[in-house]
Amino acid sequence: MSDTYVIIHGAWHTGAEMEAVAKHMRESGHVVHCPTLAGNRPEDDRSTMGLNDAIESAVRFIEEKDLHNVRLVGHSYGGMVISGVADRIADRLERLVYVNAFVPLDGQCLNDLVPPHYVELFDSIAAQNNNAVMLPFPVWREAFINDADLALAQSSYAKLNPHPYHTFIDPISLKQPLAQLNIGKSYLNCQQDIALPHGLPWHPRLSERLGLFRLVECAGSHETWFSNPPRLAQAIIEAGRD
């Protein structure tokens, strides 16, 4: 059985960093697309692009390829994007799979869902960089990719790109709560993910907003995309299958 997946990357990433996982999923017979969102392409103006640009670019990707029965996967910030896509073209989707990803309510922005010390950090970096935010390496190494060795932490960090800050502060507009959408919902929780602190965790704080959802878990950090692609690919398939 071959399912169609579209994987939406997180902040600072592009589709290219999702390819290691996608390759393992394709080996299991699935069709997997890894587009890069508007705002994270080399040519994009980080100072002006916002959440709606990112959502629209994902919608356009699915419509232009005329994809149906899509299992739409979002990682981290990608959860904001797949939520917006689902609100617009649910008829093309079979299931949403949130991978340690944000699940917003109508009117919320990403910064509403993270602890205050992140907002302060991002505010300060954005102010100095014309709205393009980067993550400091010590935070990446200790809290994002805590399961990798230093060499992998460094080589993966080198692939990141500055992220357009408007996508963190633009509120999302949703016509109905995600829990009411008549498609499947899964939450994949990497168990050692401390990119969000335990007082404001990914799961169950955000997963429970999905209503009836399927939980899948595997060992790994927020960046298991780099530290263990075959294991994450297996978990995504368990989360995305019927």
Query: Catalytic residue at 76?
Result: yes
CB of 8 to a second copy, least distance (A): 22
Decide: 104 and 83 in contact? Cβ < 8 Å.
yes
Binding of a second copy at residue 199 (CB under 8 A)? Answer: yes
Give the one residue of 213, 225, 228, 236 binding a second copy; rule: CB under 8 A: 213
Amino acid code (one letter) for 229:
P
CB of 207 to a second copy, least distance (A): 8
Give the one residue of 56, 217, 231, 234 binding a second copy; rule: CB under 8 A: 217
Give the one residue of 147, 172, 196, 202 binding a second copy; rule: CB under 8 A: 147
CB of 238 to a second copy, least distance (A): 7
Q: Rounded CA gap, 64 and 55, in Å?
A: 14
Binding of a second copy at residue 242 (CB under 8 A)? Answer: yes
| Helices and strands in the chain, H and E counts | 9, 8
CB of 125 to a second copy, least distance (A): 16
Q: What is the strand order of the sheet 184-190 is part of?
A: 31-33, 4-8, 70-75, 93-99, 184-190, 214-218
Binding of a second copy at residue 219 (CB under 8 A)? Answer: yes
With CB under 8 A, what is the number of residues at the site for a second copy? 30
Q: Rounded CA gap, 36 and 18, in Å?
A: 10
Quote the tokens at residue 165: 């800050």
| Residues classed as catalytic | 76
